[in-house]
Structure 1
Amino acid sequence: MNAERLAAIPEFFQKNYLDSGKLPCMATLISRGGEVAHESYIGATEMGGSRPIGPETIFRIYSMTKPVTSLAIMMLFEEGKLRLEHPVSRYIPEYKNVKVWDGGTRDAPKLKDPDREMTILDLMTHTSGLTYGFLMQDDTDAIYRREKVGTPKQTLQEMARQMAGLPLAFSPGTEWRYSHSIDVLGAIVEVITGQELDAFFRERIFGPLQMNDTDFWVAEDKIDRLMACYQKDAQTGETTLADPAGAASRLYAKRPVQLNAGGGLASTVRDYHRFALMLLRGGTLDGARIISPKTWEFMRQNHLPGGQTMRGMGRSAFTEVMSEGVGFGLGGSVVTDIVETRQPGSDGTFSWGGLASTFFWIDPEEELIAVQATQLMPSSTYPMRMQLQQLVYAAIDW
């Protein structure tokens, strides 16, 4: 890696985002061949604040929780406790009778039977027919908003069962749509193991990987390390505080009722790099074996039916990554045609991001990992992810 070009990365984000007040900060960690090539922290824990971020800063990683939950499912798969073709109703019986939207209105929907039952694989690839209320796309997500799906007052099990009684946006396996699918997977982990999800994560993943600053909430002795989170209004352009830093946080200062398997974790850049490095090394890190290298190889294939891409298979306008030339594996996106992505990289690159503009990717061909973090919602506000990829690949010498 070219040291001069790597050093230009924080300079780019400082000039284009921090100096103009678009972002409070930017954290970046890049490794190649398992060795850290670049680590930088610029900006503060609050807009206009004086406390600098650093390796100890804790970020809300939102949907970067999804690869962790998907990994948990594959750990259970390796133990023979489930199959990907198993119907979801095998673990949550309410899913035996799900119906699909077939017209009408949100108050009087016309429903039909799905073409087949929803499977574990459908959940892992976001082809289940479930949706997200924030998509603002059609009547099915409007029903989620009306029924308050995902309210922090619900447990994970309550949310999973509630969605079984709401209309699917499409028959399982026929489309790609970003959704609460991974939350249902988290509920299934709890059903199979008899453990609450946070306990399973700590015992089986975070503990062995020494991810000591990652959890669904931030302990009292660490809470002052949680930075503030902001939100930009797309119509007014105004950036406002979404969740305060430290103990004033409304969502992370105590253990939540809902262990949000699709978007609830907080973590540090270094912790998440350990998670990604474990995957790059075939499921093991520092003597801790989490999964088999063949399972990781299987996870990073495109599992969308017929080798389709997210763009080709989805009507959804929202995704955490570019969807051209990109399929979906078990827990994250997978580049299937690097030319279609319109920027350098490698086929087979595995990645995902979070709502507050966190992002990671693993490029097995180049043995490259990058983790990026700030705290601004939504993640689509600025093209920071693509810009980071441009800058990182430009820094490869050989």
Structure 2
Amino acid sequence: MSFDPTRLANLNSWMQAYVDTKKYPGCSVLLRHGGDEVHFHACGQRSIETGLPFTRDTIVRIYSMTKPITSVALMMLAERGLFHLDSPVSDFLPEFLNMQALIPNATRLDQTEPAPSPTLHQLLTHTSGLSYPFNPGLLPAEMDARDLIFKPDQGCLADQVRALADLPLAFRPGARWEYSVGIDVIGRVIEVVSGQTLDRLLAENVFAPLGMTETGFSVPTGAGDRFASLYTPLEGDAMALNSAKASNETLRLVDQPGGSPFEATTLFSGGGGLVGTIDDYARFADMLRNRGTGNGNRLLGPRTVDFMLRNHLPGDIASMGPQSFAEQPMEGMGFGIGGAVVLDPACARTPGSVGDFSWGGMASTFFWIDPVLDLTVVFFTQLAPSSSYPSRSQLKALVQAALIE
């Protein structure tokens, strides 16, 4: 398998068009085949205000691309026989012991019925009954009112998880799929099981073995001005999707170095708290593509990775009645442990292989691995929300078009 250089160059012009039309401030893409670099390109700026370029060593907020990393950490503990994925989360976090779930078609938050504690598997696969403040519905609205979104400056993880457990579930665990803070709860489970804070466990067991020297919950010491600014095309809060209104500016500044909560993190969000570089994330993605090995170290057994990359839902996401925001299409897409799995590229309406594993972040970052074609692709930019433009499906189409069988 090889790539057409002319068609690969279309990636560059596509990215530049996003910058020229002021949709993205800057962006970068890294494409690897069999672990070897095939293409890298960066353009635009990491800070419009200072004119600094978006470069290979730019540090970005990866938001929900944290979820696959946290999921790997949990599976590393599972491989040690410390728990089973069908274990209820209340075995580790007693605040989830006596749960209530909203009854179907509830109109008030007190219209509930007793519900079982979600399992670790349900938390990992977004079938737990938890939600996000930016989803529609009663529970998300209450989460929004209480600001339960696991920001880096919101105290500590244990306190935020306890506050979350005070609310009812949006539905009985397993009843449907809804994008949620479930993997933030998994992060707290990891702390309880391991006896380490999540930041320390990831640093010692994932980042150091893979050589991810510039990834963490805070901007690394000595990073200087390499931390990118964050922009939005919306008015108000870039995460408030239920009240989203277009701004007069397509690139309105919402967070920048010097005053960012990611420079003094206190809450380690396993669902969305990491920052890092594109090469660091490619090392992690390559570890998955290599079935558990990276940088000469084995993090997971190959069969464990195969298990993670399978669809863990009864059908595609769409078949489970989702009412929420998601980082991926829902038709033709299943969900594994920490990311989406392509079941049918035609139904997903994007070229690719059956078994492609991927996920993205709220600032429009994205990655996927293609086990069939032995590909790893990582895309970085800093624009929230990620639903602003169809860049992910466009990127997949561009990469597929450049392949020569």
Give yes or no for TM over 0.5: yes
Match of 2:137 in 1: 138
* Deviation for aligned residue 1:61: 0.4
Q: 1:346, 1:40 → 2: CA distance? A: 24
Contact 2:211–2:295 (CA<8 Å) still a contact in 1?
Answer: no
Contact 2:343–2:355 (CA<8 Å) still a contact in 1?
Answer: yes
After superposition, where does 1:203-352 map in structure 2 within 5 Å?
Answer: 203-233=204-234, 234-237=244-247, 238=249, 239-244=251-256, 246=257, 248-254=258-264, 256-304=265-313, 306=314, 308-352=315-359
Match of 2:118 in 1: 118
* Deviation for aligned residue 1:8: 1.5
Contact 1:155–1:257 (CA<8 Å) still a contact in 2?
Answer: yes
* Deviation for aligned residue 1:343: 2.2
Instruction: Render the CA deviation track for 1:339-388: whole Å, top value 9, x for unaligned.
Output: 21112110111000000010000110000111001100000101111110
Matched, 1:376 2:351: no
Contact 2:312–2:337 (CA<8 Å) still a contact in 1?
Answer: yes
Contact 1:345–1:393 (CA<8 Å) still a contact in 2?
Answer: yes
* Deviation for aligned residue 1:47: 2.5
Instruction: Render the CA deviation track for 1:242-269: whole Å, top value 9, x for unaligned.
Output: 101x3x1421222x12101100000111
Match of 2:195 in 1: 194
Contact 1:220–1:253 (CA<8 Å) still a contact in 2?
Answer: no
Match of 1:175 in 2: 176
SS in 2 for 1:278: helix
SS in 2 for 1:28: strand
* Alignment equivalent of 1:13, drawn from 7, 12, 15: 15
Match of 1:355 in 2: 362
SS in 1 for 2:307: helix
SS in 1 for 2:341: strand
Instruction: Render the CA deviation track for 1:272-292: whole Å, top value 9, x for unaligned.
Output: 000000111110113111001
Matched, 1:37 2:38: yes
* Deviation for aligned residue 1:179: 0.5
SS in 1 for 2:41: strand
Instruction: Render the CA deviation track for 1:94-152: whole Å, top value 9, x for unaligned.
Output: 1110100126554x5111012x43100000100000011122x1111111122221353
Moved more, 222-231 or 173-182: 222-231
* Deviation for aligned residue 1:65: 0.2
Instruction: Render the CA deviation track for 1:4-32: whole Å, top value 9, x for unaligned.
Output: 211220111212x1112221111000111
SS in 2 for 1:41: strand
Contact 1:283–1:290 (CA<8 Å) still a contact in 2?
Answer: yes
SS in 1 for 2:266: coil
Q: 1:60, 1:323 → 2: CA distance? A: 24
Instruction: Render the CA deviation track for 1:21-56: whole Å, top value 9, x for unaligned.
Output: 221111000111111100011111122653212111
SS in 2 for 1:376: coil
**What CA RMSD, in Å, does the superposition of the two structures yield over aligned residues?**
1.4
**How many residue pairs get matched?**
389
After TM superposition, the score normalised by the length of structure 2 is 0.93
SS in 1 for 2:97: helix
Q: 1:220, 1:342 → 2: CA distance? A: 42
Q: Which structure 1 residue ranges, 5 or more long, are not aligned? A: none
SS in 2 for 1:113: strand
* Deviation for aligned residue 1:219: 2.6
Contact 2:132–2:181 (CA<8 Å) still a contact in 1?
Answer: yes
Match of 2:85 in 1: 84
Q: 1:12, 1:40 → 2: CA distance? A: 11
Matched, 1:387 2:394: yes
Q: Which structure 2 residue ranges, 5 or more long, are not aligned? A: 235-243
Contact 1:300–1:334 (CA<8 Å) still a contact in 2?
Answer: yes
Q: 1:382, 1:273 → 2: CA distance? A: 23
Q: 2:201, 2:324 → 1: CA distance? A: 33
SS in 2 for 1:134: coil
Q: 1:127, 1:263 → 2: CA distance? A: 18
Contact 2:179–2:324 (CA<8 Å) still a contact in 1?
Answer: no
Matched, 1:24 2:13: no
Q: 1:94, 1:48 → 2: CA distance? A: 45
